[in-house]
């Protein structure tokens, strides 16, 4: 636009110089008789007047044309009229909990090509993070944090970039929230997911869920990232016709006739390539080993295997029996280790397959691990209403069953010997016992106290604890 003004300014100067020259020449020709040519004067002969007026009219017309061009400078290039107006802030933004996800919606913004969604989770993030871009006016966040989740939606335009002002909203989740009823609570979570590339598509399949009328299929570019809905399937499979380059991660929910859906399945992945790859399937993995590398309280069931030549990823399957049906529990991209973050109690069997662009290998040999939640020693008992009469003490207690407390298999009634100060087991009881009585006369020490307690035990250890103390002289319990 500045070049346009420079060129036309030069043109104006040239035309004014020529016009000045013509005027001076004509003025010199008539000299003293007329100081300025009057094109409409009767005192100049008709021939000369016609010639001079024509030249003045020609140069005057050219000057007027130039002025019109100057004032239209920039309009042929579109000017500001062709540029989109500044993007406004989205209005009517809202957020609601749906199962364990958050659904955002807002009104469309004029001239926006799409919207950037940014999120700050108070319990997780240090600042706002871009979690997605959509062209629609809604977004499903499948990985919110417990507590307050802050969202901001910014419109963007290909020419203008991102808008200066976004619309923000806060949505709070608690660990036990059922959301808005999006989860029916009656449909099982789909399992047995598989994802395989077929030409330019990815074929995703899963096992049928009783009572489901359809299935929602979600996709993400990372296993722990935000999953976006890519479509509804009426059967137990769906083709993703526009997969992302590289790894695509999928989760599936079952949907009933009322539109209520189950929780999300475990993820499955497929490494999508545009073609090529190896010409044969990889061999089955070997040296599969499974162990709990955590503890009974915080388990970490880890599956490991040896790498396979030409494999681009691996799939891990598990079953409740060695020869039963195996269902996929996750994918371990290019690594040869996977942690089952949803272990089951009892003995579980695992198998692994290697995958490349030509397909997947046969199953590996199985490996198994036995896991039992809270498989730890018992916690100390909690004493209840312990009583004593002239000859007998009756102990009453309960066994803690909270997380971190093992289940006892035995219980012991222990009393301190007043002579040696050592404890002796008077009675051996079952792990479920909650009361026991004994004659305490011979266990009163020189101070008139009886020290007695209950200790529980299982194969992981004993509970320990503090004994009860009975004051025989004053006929009362002192703790």
pLDDT tens, per residue, the chain with 479 residues? 444 545 555 555 655 566 556 555 555 554 444 443 343 444 444 545 555 555 656 666 666 666 655 555 544 444 444 555 678 888 888 888 776 678 888 888 888 888 889 988 876 777 888 888 777 788 888 778 777 889 999 998 877 788 888 889 888 776 544 333 344 456 888 988 888 887 788 989 999 888 888 899 999 888 777 888 998 888 889 999 889 888 888 999 998 877 788 888 888 888 887 543 345 788 899 999 999 887 766 778 899 998 887 788 889 999 999 998 998 886 666 788 888 877 887 899 999 998 887 788 899 999 999 887 667 788 899 999 999 999 999 999 999 887 678 889 999 999 999 999 999 999 999 999 999 999 999 999 999 999 999 999 988 889 888 899 999 999 999 99
Task: Tell me the C-alpha distance between 132 and 152, whole Å.
Answer: 11
Give the predicted TM-score (pTM) of the model.
0.33
Q: Residues with Cβ < 8 Å from 314, sequence gap 6 or more?
A: 285, 305, 308, 331, 332, 333, 335, 336, 338, 352, 353, 354, 355
10 Å CB burial of residue 66 (0-12, 13-18, 19+) is middle
Could you give the CA distance from residue 132 to residue 437 in angstroms, rounded to a whole number?
68
Q: How many CB atoms lie within 10 A of CB 68?
A: 9
Q: What is the pLDDT of residue 21?
A: 60
Burial of 89 (C-beta count, 10 Å sphere; 0-12/13-18/19+): middle
pLDDT for 178 = 38
Tell me the three state secondary structure of residue 68: helix
Distance between CA atoms of residues 143 and 228, nearest Å? 11
**Cα separation, 292 vs 64, whole angstroms:** 91
Q: 381: which 2 tokens?
A: 């008992």
If you ran DSSP here, which 8-state letter would residue 261 be given?
Answer: B
Look at residue 386 in the predicted model and tell me its pLDDT. Answer: 96
Predicted local distance difference test score (pLDDT) of residue 114: 86
| Residue 449, SS3 per DSSP | strand
The C-alpha R_g of the chain, in whole angstroms, comes to: 43
DSSP 259: S
- Cα 453 from Cα 356, distance rounded (Å): 63
Q: Looking at residue 131, what is its pLDDT? A: 84
**Cα atoms in the Cβ-side hemisphere of radius 13 Å centred on 316:** 28
Q: How far is CA 65 from the centre of its chain?
A: 64
Q: What are phi and psi of 295, to 5 degrees?
A: -145, 180
Give pLDDT, residue 72: 54
DSSP track, 377-407: PPPPPEE---EE-SSEEEEEEE---STT-PP
What contacts 165, CB < 8 A, 6 or more positions away? 88, 89, 154
- The pLDDT of residue 42 is 42
pLDDT of residue 22: 53
Distance CA 333, CA 316 (A): 11
Tens of pLDDT, residues 223-249: 777 888 998 888 889 999 889 888 888
Give the pLDDT confidence of 302-340 residue by residue, as tens digits: 999 988 877 888 899 999 999 989 988 866 667 888 888
Q: Residue 181's pLDDT is what?
A: 38
């Amino acid at each position: 636009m500045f070049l346009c003004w420079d060129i036309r300014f030069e043109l104006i100067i040239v035309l004014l110089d020529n016009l000045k020259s013509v005027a001076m020449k004509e003025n010199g020709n008539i000299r003293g008789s007329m100081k300025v040519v009057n094109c409409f004067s009767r005192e100049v002969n008709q021939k000369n007047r016609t010639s001079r007026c024509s030249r003045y009219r020609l140069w005057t017309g050219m000057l007027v044309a130039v002025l019109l061009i100057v004032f239209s400078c920039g309009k042929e290039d579109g000017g500001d009229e062709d540029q989109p107006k500044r993007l406004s802030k989205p209005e009517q933004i809202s957020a609601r909990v749906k199962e364990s996800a958050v659904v955002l919606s807002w009104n469309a913004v004029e001239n926006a090509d799409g919207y950037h969604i940014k999120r700050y989770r108070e319990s997780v993030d240090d600042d706002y993070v871009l979690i997605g871009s959509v062209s629609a006016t809604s977004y499903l966040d499948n990985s919110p944090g417990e507590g307050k989740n802050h969202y901001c939606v910014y419109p963007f335009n290909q020419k203008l970039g991102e808008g200066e002002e976004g619309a923000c909203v806060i949505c709070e989740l608690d660990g036990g929230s059922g959301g808005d009823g999006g989860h029916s609570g009656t449909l099982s979570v789909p399992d047995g997911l598989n994802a395989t590339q077929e030409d330019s598509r990815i074929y995703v399949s899963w096992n049928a869920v009783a009572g489901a009328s359809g299935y929602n299929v979600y996709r993400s570019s990372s296993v722990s990232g935000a999953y976006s809905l890519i479509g509804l399937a009426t059967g137990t499979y769906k083709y993703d016709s526009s997969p992302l380059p590289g790894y695509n991660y999928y989760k599936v929910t079952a949907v009933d006739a009322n539109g209520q859906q189950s929780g999300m399945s475990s993820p499955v992945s497929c490494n999508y390539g545009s073609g090529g790859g190896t010409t044969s399937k990889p061999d089955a993995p070997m040296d599969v080993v499974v162990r709990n590398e955590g503890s009974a309280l915080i388990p970490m069931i880890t599956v490991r295997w040896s790498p396979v030549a030409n494999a681009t990823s691996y799939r891990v399957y598990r079953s409740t029996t060695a020869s039963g049906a195996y269902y996929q529990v996750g994918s371990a991209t290019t690594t040869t280790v996977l942690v089952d973050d949803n272990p089951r109690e009892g003995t579980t069997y695992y198998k692994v397959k290697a995958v490349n662009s030509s397909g997947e290998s046969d199953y590996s040999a199985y490996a198994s691990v036995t896991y039992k939640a809270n498989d730890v020693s018992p916690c100390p008992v909690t004493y209840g209403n312990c009583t004593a009469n002239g000859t007998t003490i009756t102990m009453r207690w309960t066994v803690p069953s909270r997380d971190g407390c093992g289940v006892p298999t035995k219980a012991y009634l222990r009393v301190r010997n007043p002579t040696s100060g050592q404890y002796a087991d008077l009675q051996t009881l079952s792990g479920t016992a909650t009361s026991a009585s004994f004659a305490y006369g011979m266990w009163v020490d020189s101070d008139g106290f009886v020290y007695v307690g209950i200790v529980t035990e299982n194969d992981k250890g004993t509970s320990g604890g503090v004994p009860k103390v009975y004051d025989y002289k004053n006929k009362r319990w002192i703790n």
